């Protein structure tokens, strides 16, 4: 503690230089923290997204992810019955995703429609009003964006129209439905206008006539430990379909966004290099200015170990204060950067790039403190190796 006190007093003597050094370390620390949050935050956010309703497995057309394309699975009722027959499956549901239109007084507006089974769904959360019933063929759920676009409130009647017929240049007949509730669709992009009905209604709106097709099955296992076994059995039974657990989806997602991880590693490494060079340079200059003082205290019996501890304490103090300021700055900039990146088209609104986590904060803090200690090693070696007699003679002349 005495060495730390001496180190702090030494830094206070050069207030402006110390303040600038702390500011530089804070900027580097903020960059490091943001890169640590980015490297692990993407995967964590995606895992939380697909587990939003507790369904750990997704079954989709071969080579696709949920709602990644317009590909569909035929014979949905039979496939779903087979999935539910697995003893380790607690529940499973089918979802159809399809483009459609909403009719407003003077035109049609573009929407995205979900056909769902309300008793077993993993793609939305009701925020106002009530959910649909399993046989509620007259009800519809709206996202806030869809409600604004259609100028509809809970209890209002809206008209949904299927896809336009490119040959007749006309739309299919509309269907009038009553808005039961407002919902947050898990996979929706920011500001996306989406609606949902029970599956048979959406299938008819999509133009399916006797062709039972869906986009994805969501499956919930009876326990997390049984997910891998359920996924393996489903792959055997459904070789023409893609079966992915949450862990599998995270791997797919990681491959798609590998450049973000590479960017985080590169920028994080650069921030550490900048911190080491900055702290090492400041301490080297400080030691050079105080060689006479160091030689004097050595001459009166202060050990080399004490001198080394003081220099290392100065580096630790600089890094500690700079890191504390950098943590605050990093959290602020992470929020700002996340708002920019999540505004990219096609990303779910619930997705985040920077996810504050206790483990990430502790990792960044530990790395920074270790960096401060490493940065002080060379200046401490210079101070310890300074020749006492020659330095005192030089100072005297």
Q: Where are the chain's structural domains?
A: 2-49+257-396, 63-239
C-alpha closest to that of 215 among 82, 106, 79: 79
Confidence (pLDDT) at 194? 92
Which among 321, 338, 394, 331 is positioned nearest to 360, based on CA atoms? 331
Beta strand 57-61 with 241-245: parallel, antiparallel or unpaired?
antiparallel
Burial of 317 (C-beta count, 10 Å sphere; 0-12/13-18/19+): buried
Q: Residue 240 pLDDT more than 50?
A: yes
Handedness of CA 152, 155, 158, 163 (dihedral sign): positive
Element (H, E) at 177: strand 175-185
pTM of structure: 0.65
- What's residue 225's pLDDT? 85
Confidence of residue 169 (pLDDT cuts 50, 70, 90): very low
**CB of 342 within 8 A of CB of 260?**
no
Least confident of 58-62, 141-145, 242-246, 355-359: 355-359
Question: Which one is predicted more confidently, 255 or 166?
Answer: 255
pLDDT of residue 3: 46
Section 96-123 average pLDDT: 87
| DSSP state for residue 215 in the 8-state scheme | S
Q: Which of 23, 42, 25, 49 is nearest to 337 (CA)?
A: 42
Look at 41-50, 78-87, 313-322 and tell me which has the smallest mean pLDDT. Answer: 41-50
Segment of 201-215, 221-235, 245-259 carrying the highest mean pLDDT: 221-235
CA 369 to chain centre: 26
Mean confidence (pLDDT) of the chain = 79
State the pLDDT at residue 53: 65
pLDDT score of 196 = 93
- pLDDT given at position 168: 45
Query: Of all residues in the chain, what percent carry a pLDDT higher than 90?
Result: 15
Give CA 109 to chain center in angstroms: 32
Statement: residue 391 has pLDDT above 80: no
Answer for the pair 203, 172: CB distance below 8 angstroms, yes or no.
Answer: no
Q: Does the pLDDT of residue 177 top 90, yes or no?
A: yes
pLDDT, one tens digit per residue, over 321-342 is 888 888 888 888 888 887 777 7
Residue range 240-264: average pLDDT? Answer: 75
- The mean pLDDT of 150-162, rounded to a whole number, is 91
Least confident of 1-15, 328-342, 365-379: 1-15
Residues 184 and 329: their CA atoms lie apart, in Å, by: 31
Residue 100's closest CA among 210, 155, 177, 183? 177
Average pLDDT over residues 279-298: 73
- Is the pLDDT at 131 greater than 60? The verdict is yes
List the beta bridge partners of residue 97.
Answer: 114
């Amino acid at each position: 503690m005495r060495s730390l006190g001496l180190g702090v007093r030494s830094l206070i003597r050069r207030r402006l230089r110390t303040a600038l050094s702390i500011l530089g370390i804070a900027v580097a620390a903020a960059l490091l923290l943001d890169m640590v949050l980015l490297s692990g935050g993407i995967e964590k956010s995606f895992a939380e997204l697909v587990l939003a309703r507790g369904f750990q497995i997704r079954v989709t057309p071969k080579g696709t992810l949920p709602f990644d394309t317009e590909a569909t699975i035929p014979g949905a009722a039979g496939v779903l019955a087979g999935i539910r027959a697995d003893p380790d499956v607690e529940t499973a549901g089918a979802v159809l995703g399809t483009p459609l239109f909403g009719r407003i007084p003077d035109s049609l507006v573009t929407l995205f429609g979900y056909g769902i089974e309300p008793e077993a769904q993993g793609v939305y959360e009701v925020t106002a009003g009530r959910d649909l019933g399993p046989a509620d063929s007259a009800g519809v759920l709206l996202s806030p964006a869809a409600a604004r676009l259609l100028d509809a409130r809970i209890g209002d009647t809206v008209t949904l129209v299927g896809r336009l017929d490119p040959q007749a240049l006309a739309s299919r007949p509309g269907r009038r439905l009553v808005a039961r509730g407002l919902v947050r669709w898990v996979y929706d992009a920011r500001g996306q206008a989406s609606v949902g009905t029970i599956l048979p209604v959406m299938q008819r709106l999509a133009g399916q006539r006797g062709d039972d097709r869906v986009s994805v099955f969501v499956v919930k296992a009876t326990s997390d430990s049984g997910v891998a076994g359920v996924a393996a059995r489903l792959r055997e039974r459904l070789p023409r379909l893609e079966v992915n657990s949450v862990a599998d989806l995270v791997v797919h997602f990681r491959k798609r966004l590998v450049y973000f991880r590479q960017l985080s590693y590169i920028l994080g490494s650069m921030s550490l290099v900048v911190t080491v060079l900055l702290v090492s340079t400041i301490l080297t200059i400080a030691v050079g200015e105080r060689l006479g003082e160091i030689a004097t205290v050595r001459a009166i019996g202060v050990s080399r170990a004490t001198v080394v501890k003081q220099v290392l304490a100065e580096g630790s103090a600089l890094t500690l204060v700079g890191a504390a300021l950098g943590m605050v700055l990093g959290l602020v900039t992470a929020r700002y950067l996340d708002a920019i990146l999540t505004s990219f088209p096609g990303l779910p609104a619930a997705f985040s790039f920077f996810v504050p986590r206790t483990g990430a904060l502790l990792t960044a803090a530990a790395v920074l403190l270790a960096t401060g200690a490493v940065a002080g090693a060379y200046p401490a070696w210079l101070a310890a190796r300074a020749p006492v007699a020659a330095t005192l003679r030089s100072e005297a002349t």
